[in-house]
Structure 1
Amino acid sequence: MQTEIILYIILAGILALSLALFQYIYRSKKRDKLSWSLTFLRFTTLFSVLLLLINPKFNKTSYYTEKPNLIVAIDNSESVGFLEQTDNSNNFVALLKSNEALNDRFDIEYYKFGKDVGVLDQLSFNEKQTNPTVLFDRFSQVYGNSIAPLLMVTDGNQTYGNDYEFGFQKFKQPVFPIILGDTINYIDLKIEQLNVNKYAYSKNKFPVEIIVNYNGNEDVTSQLILTSGNSTVYSQSVKFSKEATSRIITLTLPANTPGVHSYKATLKPISNEKNTINNVKNFAVEVIDRKTSVAIVSDLLHPDMGALKKAIESNEQRLATILSPSEFLNHTVDFQQVILYQPNDKFKSVYKALETMQINIFTILGTKTKWSDLNDLQNDFKQSITNQFEDYQSELNLNYNSFIVEDLGFSDFPPLSTEFGPLKFSVPIDVILYKKVNGIQLKEPLLLTYEVGQKRAVVMNGEGIWRWRAQSYLNDKSFNGFDNFIGKIIQYLDSEQRKSRLNMSYDSFYDGNDNVVMTAQFFNKNYEFDTSETLEITVTNKDNKQSQTLPFILKQNNYQVDLSGLPAADYQFTVRSKNENISKSGEFKILDYNVEQQFLNANVSKLKGLATKSQGTAHFIKDSEEIVAQLLKDERFATIQKSTKNVVPLIDWKFLLALIALSLSLEWFIRKYNGLI
């Protein structure tokens, strides 16, 4: 307590005592017991009231005990069922729940995981991907400030995400892998990896790289066969031995006709081979007629151009080249689209060439844009020259209707810099992103599209989108979101389709373990995004003609439907709006591949390495009682006593109010009884 407060309390006591003595001793001239009693009661009342006015604060300490947490995470992927470990997993959970000593010692939390992690309700062992690293990402946030050892019940076979043997480091807790499976080595041939580009170009050849592995001690010979439909397109004999356990086979296949072409790579099984599923791998290639070449024209160096180039070329159908204005003029015929980055007076000939070529343009403006020149070089938009710059954040326009734009969290992206003041357009525009300053949306476009006759154009009024690509990676651990966003802009500039009230976004084919998610946007007659429409998709298997109809779910600025449960096949689909007679049809393919069925054993060495590095121990599932005994004996996981210190003001002490009421009541009663009032 501060010295100043103590002095106030002393003064309050002196003042309260002085007033009480003045009233009942000095004025009455009496020194009997009654006067002293009334003096004490009046002093108590006055001193208590003054204390409440001063309102000193006191430290209040409370103590409590905290049991350590025990996190139990069960692998819910298909590989557990394939290794015949489902009963062992369920029995282990039942054992932990029934052990009273363990439940008294720990607060036990149960989770299941596959590609993602969730609270354990029921184990289905139907997850198509396994990502143990997600456990460490989530639990490091939830249990970062407590004792929380992790029991990870898994076969250790990872099919998705960053390597968990290194990802555990952020968790900072002991990990106890409970190993599902055995260490027996079976004779096995396996197509370990197949590398092929997603796209190929008509009348060319595309490369295929196949990595095949052998697990065994004897010399064996197999046959690698590639088929497309009923035709064999490649065949090669492959020999293995105890020393030569891996082969890399490289070949090229012709891309003669446009469209999606499916292939199957088969490594013929040998005798006594336990798992033949991993001898087969399906793949597909989409053959396209041409490659879109995009010129990024600029007279300066800026990281934005590198970010644009990487985003554009993430789609193998596109090629981006960074050129100066003079270099572009020498190669105009090589490009189908042009990105003009912060034009200046050196772009005069470029604009004349573009006017002649009649190709679509993506213009990016910023602090280095020479508006005194650009205002004269084109007539679509003008900017008042202020020689002042402003940073603008962005906000997505949910009613944008030219193509589907998914919200990447634009409002939280770093700001872009450009000339202060609005752009004035002489043509109708469609806004993708609005400017936002200090959380307030301005009715000024930051990113927009427009059409003049048969020509399309995009304008981004701000520099610094390289930060957007970096932020997208920080948010999602992947550049895909930003790259797809730029890809849709390039696709818009490459497309000759007119506006449609129903827009679809989907891929031509999906790998067997991919999430098959389609998105759609529906607009009313004024081309405003309609959130009240009901969309349905009818999907038909082209082989057995079976159909099913599923509803779309509204999610932010688009409709989505998840078709991930469909088996591998060729499909036709039709999307219809229920309230209006509008529909759109298409086709896609799901390839037959289950990565969870590629394993023969648990990854024992990796799980033991994880245990050692995290200061835990690994156990096989058959040693369940031993696991429980070790947890109960481990002194690192003791119940601890903690304290909390709270600052409590005196006004919160209710007994002081009761004391004031009691002293006043007693004083009044004694005076009344003795005839003093």
Structure 2
Amino acid sequence: MSYQTLLYIILAGIAALLLALFQYKYKTKSASNKTALFVILRTITLFSVFLLLINPEFEQLTITTEKPTLVVAVDNSSSIKHLNQDDKVNQFLIALKENTAINDRFTVDLYSFGSLLQSLDTLGFSENQTNISSAFSSLHQIYKNTVSPTLLITDGNQTFGNDYEFSAKKYNQKIYPIILGDTTLYVDIKLQQLNVNKYVFLKNKFPVEAIAVYSGNSNFSTTFQVTQGNAVVFSKIVSFSKTKTSEVISFNLPANKVGVHAYKATLVPINTEKNKVNNVRDFAVEVIDQKTNVALVSALLHPDLGALKKSIETNEQRSVTLFKPNELLGKLDDFQLVIVYQPDNSFSQLFAEMKDVNKNKFVITGTKTDWTFLNAQSENYRQDITSQTEDYQAHLNTSYSAFIVEDLNFVSLPPLVSSFGAPEFSVPLETLLYKTVGNFKTDEPLLATFEVGSKRESILFGENIWRWRAQNYRNTESFNEFDNFFGKIIQYLSSNKRKNRLELDYDSFYQGATNVVIKAHYFNKNYEFDKTETLSLSIENKDNTLVKAVPFLLNNNVYEADLNDLPAGEYSFTVRTKSENISKEGQFKILEYSVEQQFYNANASKLEYIAKNSNGQSYYIDNYSEMFNNLSENEAFKPLQKSNKSTVPLIDWKYLLALITLSLSIEWFLRKYKGLI
């Protein structure tokens, strides 16, 4: 409070007193000694009103005590139950909640994790995957500006994701692993890895590579064999010793029949082995009789070319060959699709030949595109010719009906560069992606497809799609989403099959009951996506005739049926619509495999390393009482006392208004009582 404000308050007090004396002493002739009470009450009222007019400000100091947060992240994967540690984890959590010293010292936040981190509700130890790295990344976002020691209750065995050793370094909190499981090393052989292509071609031999690993000190030999049904299709004797702890087994198998073929690779177990589950690995291949050949034609060098080739060839069913415009002449019959990248006059002969053979094509334009040439060549679209360029971002058309497409979070992807102006189409088209300029969403197509007779064509108005693929990897730590999106465009353009009102998206086989999802797209008679339809799926197991009905749930612009609870086996299914009774059938196979059962020991060495590297300490689950004592006595985790100084104006003080009301009320009642009113 300033000296000037203090002076005003003093003057206000004097003025209030003088006014009260004037009213009750000078103006009132019959004043008595009892009028002193009225003077006091009137002085209080006037002084309070003057204070409100002056409205002085006061500094208010608020002191709070903030306890550090103890983060508890519990591994909820099925490996915990496989190692018989589930009861110990539940006992630990009960002891943690009942420990007075810990709860007085910390605010305890409980989480569970499998493939993703989530708040702890109940533990079922049923997650099929463990991603400790993802758990650390999520916790880092939540607690990056706090002091939050972290208890990591796990066996340390991660089944997918980045190495959590590096994620733990970025976490920047003290980590206290609670190690679950036996650390005793037993004699064990296992199939560490099995590499095989998902697709193979008819009448070819496909390579298989198996990596067998041994832990133990004795010398011994065993048999590695691959069976298909009851027939042994490959067998080999493998030997191990204390110095030879692994062997890579490479061989080829024939592909004689089209379809999905399942195999079982087995390392004959040792009698003393405790974990025999990891000796067996099921795998499958799909034999196809045709490969989709794509020609990628460009007269210039650009990073987009490499990104397109990589993305398309992620699917082993497709092959991409790069050509200059004149190199492809006379070879079009060898390809199902031609991708034309930024065409100019050098493409004139190629365009003429593609028109003669009615070849499907995908045109990608950009800043080097010769629109004078392209406008003359195309009968289906044209664009005004300008020297200006524009950056266009994308937003998804959720009503696109040619095939099932999912949002890649296009708003987060970098803009593509293209010539300025809106294209004009002379044929009906389906826009897959619209242009976004700044924050303004337009109805101009950025990526569109159309059909003219039996020919399919697509056009993308923008270069630098390689940045989309790179950004998608940054967003998801994987190229899969972008590659799947682009693969569906290639699949649509390389086929001339008639479009169906009910489209399905699923795999022929799944490696274990993880991410078994069937997706569907349903369109009305005008081929507009219909969000109001009810879709159902009936599924039958070919081995035990299990019949099950599963409803589809609408997820954005895709119907999805989650089948992750199905056991391994062969299944046939039917998807049916309710209103028009349109149906479509399919079949798939789930292979017997549980990655969580491949471990019999805790990965204690890595957990101890991340504890040491973060200045924490590792404990075994049986020694949690010691951990509780050490944490509650650790001087690094003292409660913090925080002070908050704020400036509060007097007009916000409600008690002053109450004082004015009270003094006026008392004065009025006293005057009424004495007959002065």
Same structural fold, with TM-score higher than 0.5 when normalized by the shorter chain: yes
Give the whole-Å Cα distance in 2 for the aligned partners of 1:15 and 1:444: 70
Aligned to 1:151: 151
1:373 aligns with 2:373: yes
Task: Tell me how far 1:82 sits from its aligned partner.
Answer: 1.8
Partner residue, 2:621: 621
User: 2:47 — aligned with what?
Assistant: 44
- CA contact under 8 A between 1:41 and 1:663: conserved in structure 2? yes
Distance verdict in 2 for CA 1:23–1:116, change over 3 Å = closer
For 1:166, what is the secondary structure of its paired residue?
helix
Do the aligned partners of residues 8 and 341 (structure 1) sit closer, same or farther apart at CA in structure 2, a change above 3 Å counting? farther
Q: 2:148 touches 2:173 (CA, 8 Å); kept in 1?
A: yes
Q: How does 1:88-167 map to 2 (within 5 A)?
A: 88-167=88-167
The aligned amino acid for 1:207 is P
1:651 shift after superposition: 3.0
- The alignment partner of 1:148 has SS state of coil
User: How far 1:653 moved relative to its partner?
Assistant: 2.2
Deviation at 1:557, TM superposition (A): 0.3
Q: CA deviation at 1:670?
A: 9.7
In structure 2, how many angstroms separate the alpha carbons of the residues matched to 1:565 and 1:501?
Answer: 29
1:483 aligned residue: 483
Residue 548 of structure 1 deviates from its aligned partner by 0.7
Q: Per the alignment, in what secondary structure is the counterpart of residue 402 of structure 2?
A: coil
Q: Distance in 1 between matches of 2:287 and 2:454?
A: 27
Contact 1:513 1:595 in 2 (8 A): no
Corresponding position: 1:398 with 2:404: no
Amino acid at match of 1:265: A
**Equivalent residue runs for 1:444-455 within 5 Å:** 444-455=444-455
Q: Deviations over 1:173-209 (max 9, x none)?
A: 1111111122222111111111111111222221111
Q: Partners of 1:304 and 1:20 in 2: how far apart?
A: 86
CA distance in 2, matches of 1:63, 1:205: 76
Q: 1:72: how far off? A: 2.0
Offset, 1:18: 7.4
The one-letter amino acid paired with 1:280 is: V
The equivalent residue for 1:353 is 353
Amino acid of the residue matched to residue 98 of structure 2? S
Alignment deviations for residues 40-94 of structure 1 (CA, whole Å, 9 cap, x no partner): 5686256324324xxx655432111122222222222222222222222222222
3-state SS of the aligned residue for 1:622?
Answer: helix
Q: 1:501 to 1:645 in 2, by over 3 A?
A: farther
* 1:143 Cα deviation from its structure 2 partner: 2.2
| Mapped partners of 1:342, 1:21: distance in 2 | 92
Aligned to 1:471: 471
In the other structure, the counterpart of 2:505 is 505
CA RMSD of superposed structures (Å): 2.9
Q: CA deviation at 1:474?
A: 2.2
Whether 1:608 aligns to 2:608 is: yes
For 1:600, the aligned partner's letter is: Y
Query: In the superposition, relative to structure 1, how do residues 245 and 13 fare at CA in structure 2: closer, same or farther (>3 Å)?
Result: same
Instruction: Assess if the C-alpha contact under 8 Å between 2:42 and 2:664 holds in 1.
Output: no
Q: CA deviation at 1:667?
A: 8.4
State how far apart, in whole Å, the 2-side matches of 1:96 and 1:134 are. Answer: 24
What pairs with 1:176-255 in structure 2 (closer than 5 Å)? 176-255=176-255
Aligned letter for 1:139? L
Aligned residues with identical type, % of pairs: 52
Q: Which moved more, 1:369-378 or 1:461-470?
A: 461-470
Give distance in 1, aligned partners of 2:617 and 2:323.
58
**Change in CA separation of 1:445 and 1:632 when aligned onto 2, cut-off 3 Å:** same
**TM alignment of 1:264-413, pairs within 5 A:** 264-329=264-329, 331-413=331-413
Counterparts of 1:431 and 1:446, CA distance in 2: 8
Do structure 1's residue 80 and structure 2's residue 83 form an aligned pair?
A: no
> Following the alignment from structure 2 to structure 1, what is the Cα–Cα distance between the partners of residues 299 and 662?
87
Amino acid of the structure 2 residue aligned with 1:48:
L
Contact 1:72 1:151 in 2 (8 A): yes
- Report the Cα distance in structure 1 between the residues aligned to 2:179 and 2:642, rounded to whole angstroms: 35
Return closer, same or farther for 1:309/1:48 CA change in 2, 3 Å cut-off.
Answer: same
| CA apart distance, 1:104 | 2.1
- Range that drifts further, 347-356 or 186-195: 347-356
Distance in 2 between residues matched to 1:29 and 1:85, nearest whole Å: 92
SS in structure 2 at match of 1:481: helix
Verify the 8 A CA contact 1:48 1:660 in the aligned structure 2.
no
Deviation at 1:166, TM superposition (A): 1.6
The letter for the 2-side match of 1:483 is: D
Aligned length: 671
Give the alignment's TM-score, normalised by structure 1.
Answer: 0.92
Change (3 A) 1:649 1:193: same
Is residue 24–residue 38 contact of structure 1 (8 Å, CA) maintained in 2? no
2:597 is equivalent to residue 597 of structure 1:
yes
The alpha carbon displacement at 1:501 in A equals 1.1
CA distance in structure 2 between the partners assigned to 1:579 and 1:616 by the alignment: 61
Do residues 639 (structure 1) and 642 (structure 2) align? no
Structure 2 residue aligned with 1:433: 433
Amino acid in structure 2 at the alignment position of 1:142: I
Check conservation: 2:431, 2:448, Cα contact below 8 A: yes
- Aligned residue for 1:237, secondary structure, equals strand
- Give a deviation string over 1:405-432, Cα, whole Å, max 9, x none: 1111123333223233321101110111
Residue type matched to 1:349 in 2? Q
Work out the CA distance in 1 between the residues paired with 2:288 and 2:185. 44
Conserved 8 A contact 1:576-1:582: yes
Q: CA deviation at 1:543?
A: 1.4
1:484 Cα shift? Answer: 0.5
1 CA distance for matches of 2:97 and 2:39? 68
Unaligned runs of 5+ in 2: none
- Equivalent position SS for 1:138: helix
Whether contact under 8 Å (2:535, 2:575) holds in the other structure is yes
Partners of 1:150 and 1:484 in 2: CA distance: 37
1:485-511 alpha-carbon deviations (Å, 9 max, x no partner): 000000001122212111110111110
Q: 1:619, 1:633 → 2: CA distance? A: 16
Structure 1 unpaired stretches of 5+ = none
Mapped to 2, the partners of 1:586 and 1:41 lie a distance apart of 88
How far apart, CA to CA, are the structure 1 residues paired with 2:492 and 2:72?
48
2:294–2:338 Cα contact (<8 Å) kept: yes
Instruction: Note closer, same or farther for the CA distance 1:223–1:385 as it changes in structure 2 (3 Å cut).
Output: same
Q: Report the CA distance between 1:295 and its aligned residue.
A: 2.2
Change (3 A) 1:500 1:29: same
1:21–1:39 contact (8 Å) kept in structure 2: no
